[in-house]
Amino acid sequence: NAGVTQTPKFQVLKTGQSMTLQCAQDMNHEYMSWYRQDPGMGLRLIHYSVGAGITDQGEVPNGYNVSRSTTEDFPLRLLSAAPSQTSVYFCASSYSTAVNEKLFFGSGTQLSVL
């Protein structure tokens, strides 16, 4: 089982460049989300989706866009990268939006913006 797959694993961008972080899950999960992990800040929710065609903002959505055209995929777009977006990004999914559902995490994308 592949689970939650994130690509790329590492990326270096210049300020102002755009890119898309890919996330795919093969578990038919309804719920998908993006977090960023920064030292001393823990994990902060960027955007999430409760199903295909439905997305919503998390704690730190500015500078990021998402879409959910299929159940499997939930890409995260950086429109104009800034050094403040240097971070490790994690995609996570769960079977449903029920409160007791656990999250399955991808292995992360380490992004550096110069």
Residues that bind other proteins (CB under 8 A): 4, 31, 33, 35, 40-45, 48, 50, 56, 58-59, 90, 92, 97, 99-100, 102-108
Residue 50 or 82: the one with the smaller Cβ distance to other proteins is 50
Extract the tokens encoding 72: 């499997």
Min CB(89)–other proteins separation in Å: 11
Extract the tokens encoding 20: 């898309």
* Planar angle of CA 50, 2, 70, nearest 5 degrees: 35
* Planar angle of CA 77, 24, 43, nearest 5 degrees: 65
* Planar angle of CA 19, 22, 24, nearest 5 degrees: 170
Residue 97 or 112: the one with the smaller Cβ distance to other proteins is 97
Give dist(CA 3, CA 79) in Å, integer: 27
Min CB(34)–other proteins separation in Å: 12
Residue 17 or 51: the one with the smaller Cβ distance to other proteins is 51
Min CB(49)–other proteins separation in Å: 9
Min CB(63)–other proteins separation in Å: 19
Residue 12 or 59: the one with the smaller Cβ distance to other proteins is 59
**Cα dihedral sign, 62-68-71-75:** negative
